[in-house]
């Protein structure tokens, strides 16, 4: 991979937001130093606290000593800074649309997934799963419109919106294993189900995305810590 200047990424293997940035860097063929914040959320390194004093969370990309925070912002920065295959669409309307749906994913999908993880009863988990299904059905509609009949949101190859959603696939599989909740399936979201299979087979996903077991183990660690309080 080609290098440019000094790049360091502070991350956590179980974080889908971190995987977004790693996929973007991989797409651009950029070399970087990866630093795992292995004790999150229980303790945080001094480097993380000084690099992201506002939110104190990963990912943080440090470029020539200057930190950048928030995964979607970092992905756009990487796209603008490095040559190679573009991540965001060139057309202004398509670019704005991709940003809209990426924000929707963070605003709606993330809380729904956390709700499933934190549910105290099966009834509560079923209600949270319904919320997730509603979110995914909206994203299914977005895929139908944005893809234009192509394999990915971004066309014939993955782009900004594919990265924004694809980084969650290992967590979707983790939820299926833990609770039997199928987030993306042929019955509710057939287009996304086919898309997910294609995304998982891309070189970037194979190189970057962790195994679902990593998410399962992280969830168990969080549950154990909550139970011990």
Q: Could you give the number of structural domains in the chain?
A: 2
Same domain, 44 and 112: no
Residue range 191-195: mean pLDDT, rounded: 98
Determine which of 1-10, 71-80, 117-126, 165-174 has the lowest per-residue pLDDT on average: 1-10
Instruction: State pTM to two decimals.
Output: 0.95
- In this prediction, residue 12 carries a pLDDT of 97
Give the end of a domain, one of 51, 81, 111.
81
Answer whether residue 2 is part of any domain.
Answer: no
Query: Which secondary structure element, helix H or strand E, spans residue 165, and what is its range?
Result: helix 160-166
Task: Provide CB contacts within 8 A for 6, sequence distance 6+.
Answer: 62, 63, 64, 65
Answer whether residue 104 is part of any domain.
Answer: yes
Helix, strand or coil, per DSSP, at residue 8: strand
Domain span holding position 147: 92-225
Same domain, 197 and 219: yes
Answer whether residue 46 is part of any domain.
Answer: yes
Tens digits of per-residue pLDDT, 124-171? Answer: 999 999 999 999 999 999 999 999 999 999 899 999 999 999 999 999
């Amino acid at each position: 991979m080609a290098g440019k200047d000094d790049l360091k990424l502070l991350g956590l293997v179980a974080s889908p937001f971190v995987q977004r940035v790693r996929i973007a860097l991989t797409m651009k063929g950029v070399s970087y130093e990866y630093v795992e914040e292995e004790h999150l959320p229980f303790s945080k390194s001094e480097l993380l606290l000084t690099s992201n004093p506002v939110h104190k969370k990963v990912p943080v990309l440090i470029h020539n000593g200057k930190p950048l925070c928030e995964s979607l912002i970092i992905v756009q920065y990487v796209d603008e800074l490095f040559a190679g295959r573009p991540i965001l669409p060139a057309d202004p309307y398509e670019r704005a649309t991709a940003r809209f749906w990426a924000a929707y994913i963070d605003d709606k999908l993330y809380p729904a997934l956390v709700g499933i993880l934190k549910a105290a009863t099966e009834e509560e988990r079923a209600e949270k799963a319904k919320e997730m299904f509603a979110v995914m059905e909206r994203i299914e509609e977005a895929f139908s419109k944005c893809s234009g009949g192509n394999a990915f949101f971004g066309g014939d190859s993955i782009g900004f919106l594919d990265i924004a959603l694809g980084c969650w696939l290992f967590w979707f599989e983790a939820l299926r294993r833990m609770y039997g909740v199928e987030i993306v399936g042929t019955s509710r979201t057939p287009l996304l189900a086919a898309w997910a299979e294609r995304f998982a087979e891309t070189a970037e996903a194979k190189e970057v995305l962790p195994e679902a077991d990593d998410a399962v183990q992280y969830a168990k660690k969080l549950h154990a810590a909550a139970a011990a309080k």
